[in-house]
Structure 1
């Protein structure tokens, strides 16, 4: 048997067995892999030096804990954006870099890249997978493109127009509830809680044609959605529970699975009921009856959608898209509406201007019934809504992972494999884009109208369509 000299290790000559050779080969591969990763890390670190970064806590934790939760954290983001208006980099621990983008010119380079180059970073989104499946929020690449094309008809104005009556009805229920509470002596309301129930009520009617009356009485399905939303947010703040096998062992994990089963059971029941209806009536008769008698809801659109090859969505895909819209549609809408009412309350002069605009529009009609065509006739209210969304965007940030080098307009390069955080809040509070970004952006409407300016109303409140420089196209 051949002898292998290991004298350089002080072990003398030993028989070169196949197992020893395999062990040496494995150790060599592992060493080469480690050295390659170390080289790649230092090469990336060198290339990332063009991005400024705030001072680290220390070398081990990097910038972890730099931005706190809640309102304090948003103030820290504002300070960071003021210091680094073109974006900055932070280290999550000693080896994981994140590039924060907060200027429209820089953000555009990533968002304009193809979905294959700027992939969704699914660290947080994966928590939603057991609930939302592979819908538009979580899917990517070809599946996302196919589903997006198939869902486009759901947003045609002919389908959306009848929804305005549903919006009116749900809002009237909320207003009536507020009036009853006020008559009983309540002077303080949790606005977000009430508006969340209103948006969920609206969505159930638009997605499923189902009236749960959840604003007036408890709904098991609605309670499950609210619980799932809260559990996902809570888990995101507990790094140890990011591992699925640990989370599933916790009481929260068990509650999450139970709520998922309840939500899926409801959606599956609606889908199966529609399947039973479709063959009985026939497709043409079904569509005709729907359009004449009631709104064509989201489930109908999903069931009837076909791709260019004539292939329809599976029941699993339909459930994923319906559950995704229930999740994404209620919380962000409720947040945006709550902040709009807050900002109007802080600026009563603008609130009164909005009220006068609506009253003037509905002067000879029932003031409780806004119609689709009315929405384009409320320019000042529209500007107030846009400015509130700038100050308090319902979604603070999104993230992308670059699969290729991405070149920025100023020549800097985001290296392949690096995760980018696109700060929506930071972009909307960037002093290079918005002078005095924390202030309400407005001009003197009366003065501009008196001067005969063609764009008097267009400049009335926010300058959301008129930021400085190239940011106008963002």
Structure 2
């Protein structure tokens, strides 16, 4: 196949359903993630997307607010302890990735591994799989499966896959047994007491228009996909927004005042669902960071039919298009002074003037990120609580971007944290 790099997605406005995902790169994830939403195509993808959409309804997401607050509290308690021991410079990616994995394990499986405080074999396996896939992509000879699985890295990949699959399978089997013995009505009544349906519950209860549910293999694929897609991306988004706010203390202080005003008479200091709409400037700061440092900087699609561009040129069927989200977000024709961090770009008045395809951190079209509300919710909660409790500082050296599966920083993203007296 031919490759075509498209710098600005706003130039290509053909129907989104004609561009299937290019499987060359994504195939490295297949043994781990199976046929989940990220990797499936055609009728299977359409059916699963329809069945999974209710899992991200706000009624399901609302109870997760408690989990986001608790996971942030655990991370912040660890930061307080590290600062008291003399460690004030912390790698945001390291700490926030563990925090997002902690949250996801609770939201997906209702399982608390306490992974932020002690080693977890399951969490370590997910982190290793992410690293191994990124490393394999850089070694062309190892793109061949038969060579890759002869190497020590390939054997480690297989071992980590088995561990992750065994964990997910065990939860599914245990939950199926409970559902079978209790029946749906009693199962839902028991869940109503805890006020939380986790991701596995929603998948087990999902039915398509013909009344057919998902197989255990399908559920495992979707759960493993959510664990993979949901941790590093959100950690990247949060790490980079803290970096930008450290470099712009005036914006950081304005966000902090917004949070302090919102929570001034509240104890404990906890972000609730209705608070999310009351943090407009903090939200603008997150979006501007997602523009400058989109967690997924590039996506690829294989055209299943010819696409005519506005100037009359045609992208032929069969071409794989590399759509640069990073390039779109830094296009000076769309974003004046694109390298400047300026949250006011996301004022309601300024948003009106731009194409909806100018800002695509969660991709666009039918195959956009199904979990974007989940991710934005978690980022708002964690950022608000972090700024309430800590002042974030940097040494003003430029961080070198490191695009892997997500956009990272070379050598980690190190920032200084100073506890604030206001605390929780």
Q: TM-score range by the shorter chain?
A: 0.7 to 0.9
User: Which one of the candidate residues 8, 11, 16 is aligned to 1:113?
Assistant: 16
Deviation at 1:275, TM superposition (A): 0.9
Mapped pair 1:359 → 2:260: yes
Report the more deviating stretch, 99-108 or 203-212.
99-108
Pairing of 1:393-408 with structure 2 (within 5 A): 393-408=294-309
Give secondary structure in 2 for the equivalent of 1:99: strand
- CA 1:405 to 1:468, structure 2 compared with 1: closer, same or farther past 3 Å? closer
Equivalence for 1:203: 104
In 2, the alpha carbon distance for the partners of 1:317 and 1:217 equals: 31
In 2, the alpha carbon distance for the partners of 1:108 and 1:202 equals: 36
Give secondary structure in 1 for the equivalent of 2:4: strand
Give secondary structure in 2 for the equivalent of 1:182: helix
In 1, the alpha carbon distance for the partners of 2:97 and 2:352 equals: 29
Mapped pair 1:123 → 2:24: yes
Once the two structures are superposed, what CA deviation does each residue of 1:181-238 show, in whole Å capped at 9, x if it has no partner? Answer: 0000112111100000000000000000000000000000000000000000000000
Report the more deviating stretch, 225-234 or 365-374.
365-374
Give secondary structure in 1 for the equivalent of 2:318: coil
Deviation at 1:102, TM superposition (A): 2.2
Alpha-carbon contact 2:6-2:321 (below 8 Å) kept: yes
Equivalence for 1:58: none
In 2, the alpha carbon distance for the partners of 1:145 and 1:367 equals: 43
Alpha-carbon contact 2:100-2:234 (below 8 Å) kept: yes
Equivalence for 2:5: 100
User: Which one of the candidate residues 90, 101, 109 is aligned to 1:189?
Assistant: 90
In 1, the alpha carbon distance for the partners of 2:162 and 2:291 equals: 37
Alpha-carbon contact 1:434-1:468 (below 8 Å) kept: no
User: Which one of the candidate residues 320, 333, 338 is aligned to 1:432?
Assistant: 333
Number of residue equivalences: 361
In 1, the alpha carbon distance for the partners of 2:108 and 2:31 equals: 20
Deviation at 1:289, TM superposition (A): 1.5
- CA 1:104 to 1:125, structure 2 compared with 1: closer, same or farther past 3 Å? closer
Equivalence for 1:242: 143
Larger Rg: 1
In 1, the alpha carbon distance for the partners of 2:256 and 2:357 equals: 35
In 1, the alpha carbon distance for the partners of 2:160 and 2:74 equals: 27
Per the normalisation by structure 2, the TM-score is: 0.82
Equivalence for 2:169: 268
Deviation at 1:107, TM superposition (A): 3.3
In 1, the alpha carbon distance for the partners of 2:117 and 2:178 equals: 30
Alpha-carbon contact 2:136-2:143 (below 8 Å) kept: yes
Give secondary structure in 2 for the equivalent of 1:123: helix
- CA 1:370 to 1:470, structure 2 compared with 1: closer, same or farther past 3 Å? closer
In 2, the alpha carbon distance for the partners of 1:403 and 1:313 equals: 28
